[in-house]
Amino acid sequence: MDKRISDLKADFTRVVDLKDENIKNFKTLDDKIRLLKTIYSEFLTNNKQKAFIFGLDSFHFQGKLIDIEYDDMKRIYYAITNRMYCEYFKLYKIISDYILENIKDDKKIVDIIQINSNSYPVYKDLEPFKQYDFEITQTIHETIMTLLGGLSSYILHKEHDLELYKVKNSTGLNIDNFIHTFNYSIVMIKEKLLLFISYVEIFHKLHTKFFSRFTGKMHLFISQINSDIRFDDITNINKDLVKDVPTKDVTANDAPKSRRPSTEPVLLEAFPVNNNQEKGETDIIPEESNVVVATPDSLLETNNNTA
């Protein structure tokens, strides 16, 4: 049993690694989406005629599709991490209740439960996309491992006591029925521990499968974007354009005497992003807050008013 408990810790490390890999993938996607929005905003700023705006609609829809799929990927990620906390929290409650009811004579393991009695937020089934701090998920998993290890040590201690009782029985004491009952109680606790270990093994198996498949979807999503849009070429072209901009020598007489700082807002947010998250969700990648939204419809309306 001790080896199985040790293997559980290694398996969970693999799950955490997969989760961290997906966080990096989200950061990669976020950077690409922000670059596309910046490029689109520059097009709108420099080309405000109706015909030009109409010509940018396809580019706008290209970015919108990416935003939609990105939001869908976040929703799936939220569901997986939410489910992880759900399963560990409920299992922790089951193990704690069992120990408090059946292992009352082991003060050490009971104290662990009492110390952590109010440490974890209650899971709510009606909020399947709520995000719990992943450090809390890791902590509750570590507590479960500690409780399983405590049960294993408790069983070893009881088995040692059983051997002592058998020795006393061999001296002629009529404690046969007591020994059978004592052995039965040990077997019951051992089987319960094996059941708890099996629960965690299944959780690890499922979480590894969920994150592995999700990682594959993320890689496919990123590869599709990279196939459609050559971001490295865009960056290089922008650098070349900056180098090729003609310059003019400026003398002291050419310099303006005074210049007021520009108050025109910077357009960074171009594609509408679906922010209709479930109550309690938190974004994986924080969005910019000091931006002005510009869409083709709003610019068309502006041009119609000025015409």
pLDDT bucket at 57, cuts 50 / 70 / 90: confident
How many domains does the chain divide into? 1
Residue 278, domain member (yes or no)? yes
124-128, 156-160, 232-236, 285-289: least confidently modelled range: 285-289
Choose between 295 and 184: higher pLDDT.
184
**Domain interval for residue 58:** 2-240+264-306
Residue 96 has pLDDT above 90, yes or no: yes
Distance CA 159, CA 189 (A): 11
148 belongs to a structural domain: yes
Query: Would residue 247 count as lying in a domain?
Result: no
Predicted pLDDT at 275: 44
Q: What is the mean pLDDT of residues 221-226?
A: 94
pLDDT at 296 over 50: no
Cα separation, 287 vs 70, in Å, equals 13
d(CA 172, CA 74): 70
- Angstrom distance (rounded) from CA 292 to CA 50: 20
* Per-residue pLDDT tens digits for 200-212: 999 999 999 999 9
In a domain, 277, yes or no: yes
Which residues are bridge partners to 43 per DSSP?
Answer: none
pLDDT > 80? residue 259: no
Confidence category of residue 276, pLDDT binned at 50, 70, 90: very low
CA-atom Rg of the chain in angstroms: 31
Question: How many other CB atoms are found less than 10 A from the CB of residue 128?
Answer: 13
Q: How far apart are CA 289 and CA 278, in angstroms?
A: 20
Across 217-225, average pLDDT: 95
* pTM beyond 0.85, yes or no: no
270-273 CB contacts, 8 Å cutoff, 24+ apart = 270/37, 270/40, 270/41, 270/44, 270/60, 270/63, 270/294, 270/295, 271/33, 271/36, 271/37, 271/40, 271/60, 271/63, 271/64, 271/66, 271/67, 272/64, 272/67, 273/67, 273/71
| Residue 162 token pair | 């059983």
- Establish if 281 belongs to a structural domain: yes
Q: Among candidates 81, 61, 99, 79, which has minimal Cα distance to 15?
A: 81
pLDDT band at 170 (very low <50, low <70, confident <90, very high): very high
Q: Is the pLDDT of residue 254 over 80?
A: no
Instruction: State pLDDT tens for residues 98-140.
Output: 999 999 899 999 999 999 988 999 999 999 999 999 999 999 9
How high does pLDDT run on average in the chain? 82
Q: How far apart are CA 97 and CA 162, in angstroms?
A: 25
